[in-house]
Each structure stands twice: as C-alpha cells, then as structure tokens.
Amino acid sequence: MTIALPPQTSSSPPGLQPEGWLRYLSFSLDHKVIGLQYMVAGFFFYLVGGALAGMIRIELASPISDFIGRETYNEVLTLHGTVMIFLWIVPVVNGAFGNYLIPFYVGARDMAFPRLNAVAFWLIPPAGFLLIASYFIGGAAQSGWTAYPPLSLTTPAAGQVVWILSVLLLGGSSIFGGINFIATVLKMRRPGLKMMQLPMYCWAMLGTSILVVLSTPVLAGTLVLLSFDIIAHTGFFNPALGGNAVVYQHLFWFYSHPAVYIMVLPAFGLVSEILPVHARKPLFGYTTMVYSILAIVFLGLIVWAHHMFTSATPPWMRLFFTIATAFIAVPTGIKFFNWLATLWGGKIALNSAMLFSCAFILHFVFGGITGVALAQVPFDIHVHDTYFVVGHFHYVVYGGTVFVIFGSIYHWYPKFTGRMLNEDLGRFHFLITFIGFNLCFAPQHWLGLNGMPRRVAEYDPQFTLVNQISSVGALLMALSTLPFLINVFWSAFSGKVAGDNPWNALTPEWLTTSPPPVENWKGEAPLVTHPYGYGVPPGQIDLKAATGRELWSSGQ
C-alpha cells in the first residue's frame, strides 16, 4: 500500500509512525490500519478455531472416544467456542469493518479516540495467545464457553482462571471499541450529515455498541465473582457453600444473549451495504431498517432467560421470556423482507459478494425460524442441550455472520488493497463453503431432535452415519478456506487493478482512492446524503457532491 501525501508535505515525511507493511505491526492510530489489524488477527484465530472444530468433527466421526481423550475433547470444544466468538467473529464483524468503514460513513478523518482504538486492538493478540497457551500449560478450561458453575468450579482451576482472564481482556477491548463507535457515530459526523442519512452499517454499529456498553460489563463483573469462587473459595455460585448457580446463568446470559446480536447486527448492516450496490437498487425501507435495529437492541436486552428454561425458571418468567423472544421475530422479519424487496427487480450481479450475501439471507431465516421454535418452552425443554441447539446456533453465526464476513471481504477488498479478488476462485470458494456448511450443520438438527446431546465425545451408535455426513461437511468447509487464502494472497500482488470505485457504489468510502490515503480524503470529506440513490433519475435527487451524479449514469 502507498500513502498518498499532498505535495506540500512530501518534503518533511512523518517520522513517528512506520510506513509500508510495518504499519500493521505497529501501534498505529490510523483507523484503516487498525481495521485491517483486526481483520488479519481475527482470521488467524479463525484458522485456529477451525482447526479445533476439525478435531471435534474427527472425534465425532465415530461413536467412541478414540481420536482424543474425553478431557481433551472438553478443552477443545471450550477453546473452539471461545476463540470463534471472542477472537474471530466479534473482533472482525465489529472491530475490523467498523474501524475501517465507520469514519468514512460519518465523513470523519478517524475514529473519535484513535489511541483508545489502538489499545482496544492490541489487547486482543495477548488475550488470544494467553487463551491458547493455557492448553499447553496445565490444560485449558473444560467447562464450555458458558463456564457454568459448578462445572467450572470442579474442572481444573488453572485453565479456568486463564480463560476468565482472557475473556476479561477481550471484554475490555470490546467495551473500548463500543465507546469509540458510539462517540464516532454520534459526535464525529461531518457537518450537514443527518443521522437518517447515514449508511445502514452506522446504525447497526451504533445499536451493537449500545449492547456492548450495557451488557459486557455485567459479564466482566460476573467472571470476577466466578474467579473469586475458584481462587478465594467464596461461594457466590457454589451451591455446596450456600451459593446460587442460577444467578450466574442469569448474569452470564444477560451478556451472552445480547452477544448474539453483537455478532449478527453488524452483519445485518454489512449486508445492507452490499445488496444495494450489486442489485443497483436503493435499500428498501431505510426508516423501518433503523427502527428494527433499535427494536432488536431493546428486545435483545430482555430475552436472556430463554436460555434457561430448564434451570427451574418459574412459570411467569418462562411466559415473559417466551413472548419477548417471539417479538424479536418482528423487527428481524422486517429486515428480512426489506432485503428481499431490495433485491426484487434489481439488476443483480451474481458475484461472490452477492452470492455470500444471498446465502446469508437464506441461512439466517432458517436459523431465525429454529430460534423462534427454541423460544417456545414446550419445544425447548425437549431439545435443550442437544445438537438441535448447535445446529441453530451455527446457522445464525456461521451461515449468518461468517458468510457476511466473506461477502464483505469480496466487496471491500478492492478498497483495502486497490486490487480485485479473482471472481472464479471466489465463486468456487462460495460453492464449497455453501455445500460444506449445509452438509455439516443441517443434519445436526435431526441429531438433536432424535436426542443426541451436545458437548460429549461419545454418542449412541445409531447416530454414526449422520455424524459422519456432518464431518464430511466440516472437511469441505476446511478445504474451502484454501481457495480463499490463495485468492487473497495472489490478488494482493497480481489481481486486476481496481481503481477507486470498481462497483460504482455511492457510499463515501468509494469516493476516495483505493487504498485510501491517511486521513481518508485528499480534500474535504464528501457530503453523501443519499448513500443508496441507485437507479433514481439524477434530477430527482439533491446530490451536492458532483461525484454521485456521474456514478449513477455510469452505474445504470
């Protein structure tokens, strides 16, 4: 990447911050560098978490525990969940794309707090390596990513304490990021840019960050109490010492249900950016999209106990949380139909970004439907802690969010590097990811409905064949990473040169060079009041920036 400096400053090159690729290993304050740092670090942890998932699927290819021991299996599944959630999805879908895009979208030259931003990123690699290292020194935590007591109190303490420490660091990073996004969206907007003119991803990140700021601290406090239980032998959550394990579940899910929205709301935002560009149509129902996000934020905070229907929850609590959860289907459904209406009648380019986005819509609506089913107490009691829940969850976070991450990389890679990704390899990547993913996780619904419990290394032999099908799907998913990696590395050096705006998009990040200069624009930041003004006759839209008018005519 080159930094385009204005001529008047070229005589005195800046000295404090490194240039070239070394920037990405430095405490850089540039939001674009930090965004890519998040992305690459997150992808590294995705490979780690994927290898762990591979170990799980190899173990489950046969009904007896033969590949790894039962305790190792517990460690592997705990690490898989924690790495994938806290080190891959949350940092990438929030930190990477949020840091890269939000300052462009609000017309700012950087985030509100650039130093805090760099601190938030640099908390992640140490926390990640700490977590992974716990496997090699004395064994990792074994109590799953939920760390429910009393299980987390009876499994070996060292790994559990390292796990808590690591999650606390990652939670701190997440809170710092959330504060930064809220301040940037609310306070750093270019003069003249109204909230209701912002690209949808800004609203998604605002909603996500509100959830981060309100719920992550509760998890942090809870984990501190849990560490007291382990280290100081207090009895907060230990029934043997007069404590209450269900209180831990309430506090944990007060964070971890919103955490699902922390993982998926930004993906909603990213899809809302990708679809209009590649369908050449305005985003359908902008205002309802905004209110849906806000409704999901509010409802997301009051549905946590639907994870606890088997934890002796009283009937009034079951009723309330069932109804509240079912309500979330309304704003989510609004968004779903808005995306369909955006595509309807559009001039759709079926490129990799679009394919991944469409697959997201498909998977998410399936994961959403099983989610509504799981919110119903009579059904939930039967499938609680079975593979049905595993299938549902992966349809939401992998079929939903990870597909969006890949689609977003295909969409924004030209902006990051100035070069296009190879479309043939991209479509091939999509095809095997799509087949592999559905082959891996769709059968798990059947397994759950037939009673196979989750989190066990051994199972009833009648489930062998379906588990083997699922494992073949996992193998395809692992292989699908190869064309993607080849594509990313090859295209970085030999890809087609993209130009500033290869998609003829209207959102502000495309109205600068690729890759963008430090501080984003050589001149004044453009005022983009209609980020989705595709296909509208130029005369009907008040586009103050001259760039937009040219884009439509070339885009149609």
Partner 1 sequence: MTAFSPSSDQSPTDTLAPSLALGAELLDHGAPEGGHPDHRMFGLATFLVADGMTFAGFFAAYLTFRAVNPLPAGAIYELELILPTINTVLLVVSSFTFHRAAKQLRQNQLGACRLWLLVTAGLGLAFLGGQMVEYFSLPFGLTDNLYASTFYALTGFHGLHVTLGALMILIVWWQARIPGKFTADHHFGVEAAELYWHFVDGIWLILYGILYLL
Binder of partner 1 out of 24, 54, 71, 109 (CB under 8 A):
109
Q: Does 241 bind partner 1 (CB under 8 A)?
A: yes
Q: Which of 132, 182, 439, 474 binds partner 1 (CB under 8 A)?
A: 182
Among 235, 333, 451, 453, binds partner 1 (CB under 8 A): 235
Q: Which CB sits closer to partner 1, 35 or 473?
A: 35
Q: How far is CA 289 from CA 126, 197, 294, 332, 520, in A?
A: 37, 12, 9, 9, 28
Question: Which of 142, 152, 180, 487 forms a contact with partner 1 (CB under 8 A)?
Answer: 180
- Distance between CA atoms of 74 and 80, rounded to whole angstroms? 10
d(CA 33, CA 255): 29
Q: Which is nearer to partner 1, 243 or 368 (CB)?
A: 243
Please report whether residue 130 would count as binding partner 1 according to CB under 8 A: no
Query: CB-wise, 159 or 258, nearer to partner 1?
Result: 258
- Give the integer Cα–Cα distance in Å for 332 and 321: 17
Asked if 271 contacts 360 with a C-beta cutoff of 8 angstroms, the reply is yes
* Residue 170 Cβ vs partner 1, minimum distance, rounded to whole Å: 15
Is residue 188 close enough to count as binding partner 1 by CB under 8 A?
yes
CB burial class (10 A; 0-12, 13-18, 19+) of residue 237? buried
Q: Could you write out the three-class secondary structure of 311-345?
A: CCCCHHHHHHHHHHHHHHHHHHHHHHHHHHHHHCC
Write down the least CB distance from residue 88 to partner 1, Å.
23
For the bound state, the minimum distance from the C-beta of residue 176 to partner 1, rounded and expressed in Å, comes to: 8
- Provide the minimum distance between the beta carbon of 321 and partner 1 in the complex, in angstroms, as a whole number: 16
Per the listing, tokens 């090699």 go with: 136
Kindly tell me which residue out of 1, 5, 317, 326 binds partner 1, with binding defined by CB under 8 A: 5
Q: Which stretch binds partner 1 (CB under 8 A): 156-164, 218-226, 336-344, 440-448?
A: 218-226
Q: Is residue 183 involved in binding partner 1 (CB under 8 A)?
A: yes
Whether residue 510 contacts residue 545, with contact meaning beta carbons closer than 8 Å, is answered with: no
State yes or no: residue 168 binds partner 1 (CB under 8 A).
no
Q: For every residue of 265-289, which 3-state class applies, written as one string?
A: HHHHHHHHHHHHHHHCCCCCCHHHH
Residue whose CB is less far from partner 1, 220 or 456: 220
Rounded Cα distance between 500 and 487, Å, is: 20
Closest by Cα among 201, 209, 328 to 275:
201
> What's the closest the beta carbon of residue 144 comes to partner 1, in angstroms?
21
Segment 197 to 216, residues that bind partner 1, using CB under 8 A: 213-216
Residue 285: both structure tokens together: 């129902």
Least CB distance from residue 268 to partner 1, whole Å?
23
177 binds partner 1 (CB under 8 A): no
Q: Any contact of residue 7 with partner 1 (CB under 8 A)?
A: no
Task: Name the residue among 203, 358, 185 with its Cα closest to residue 271.
Answer: 358
Q: Is the dihedral of CA 405, 410, 412, 413 positive or negative?
A: positive
Q: Which range binds partner 1 by CB under 8 A, 27-35, 47-55, 130-138, 357-365?
A: 27-35
Comparing CB distances to partner 1, the nearer of 53 and 518 is 518
For helices 200-231 and 157-187, angle between their N-to-C axes, nearest 10 degrees = 150
Least Å from the CB of residue 378 to partner 1: 26
Site membership for partner 1, residue 179 (CB under 8 A): yes
CA pair distance 365, 75, nearest whole angstrom:
32
- The minimum distance between CB 316 and partner 1, in angstroms, equals 15
> Is residue 546 a contact residue for partner 1 (CB under 8 A)?
no
- Write the interaction track for partner 1 spanning residues 445-484; mark x where CB under 8 A is met and - where it is not: ----------------------------------------
CB atoms under 10 Å from CB of 293, counted, come to: 26
Query: Binding to partner 1 (CB under 8 A): which residues in 483-542?
Result: 518-519, 522-524
Contacts to partner 1 from residues 361-400, by CB under 8 A: none
Instruction: Compare residues 115 and 347 and give the one whose CB is closer to partner 1.
Output: 115
Take residue 373 and report the two structure tokens written for it.
């089913």
Tell me the window of 45-53, 185-193, 409-417, 467-475 that interacts with partner 1 (CB under 8 A): 185-193
User: From the CB of 225, what's the least distance to partner 1, in Å?
Assistant: 6
Supply the angle between the helices 464-494 and 403-417 in degrees, to the nearest 10. Answer: 10
CA angle 383, 388, 390 (to 5 degrees): 125
CB of 143 to partner 1, least distance (A): 19
Using rule CB under 8 A, residue 47 touches partner 1: no
Beta bridge partners of 453: 386
The one among 250, 392, 411, 454 contacting partner 1 by CB under 8 A: 250
Q: Cis ω on the peptide bond leading into residue 515 (within 30° of 0)? A: yes
Asked if 254 touches partner 1 (CB under 8 A), the answer is: yes
- DSSP-assigned letter for residue 420: P
Cα 487 to Cα 526: distance, rounded to the nearest angstrom: 32
Residues near partner 1 (CB under 8 A): 5-6, 8-9, 12, 14-17, 28-30, 109-110, 112-116, 175, 178-180, 182-183, 186-188, 213-218, 220-222, 224-225, 228, 232-236, 241-244, 247, 250-251, 254, 518-519, 522-524
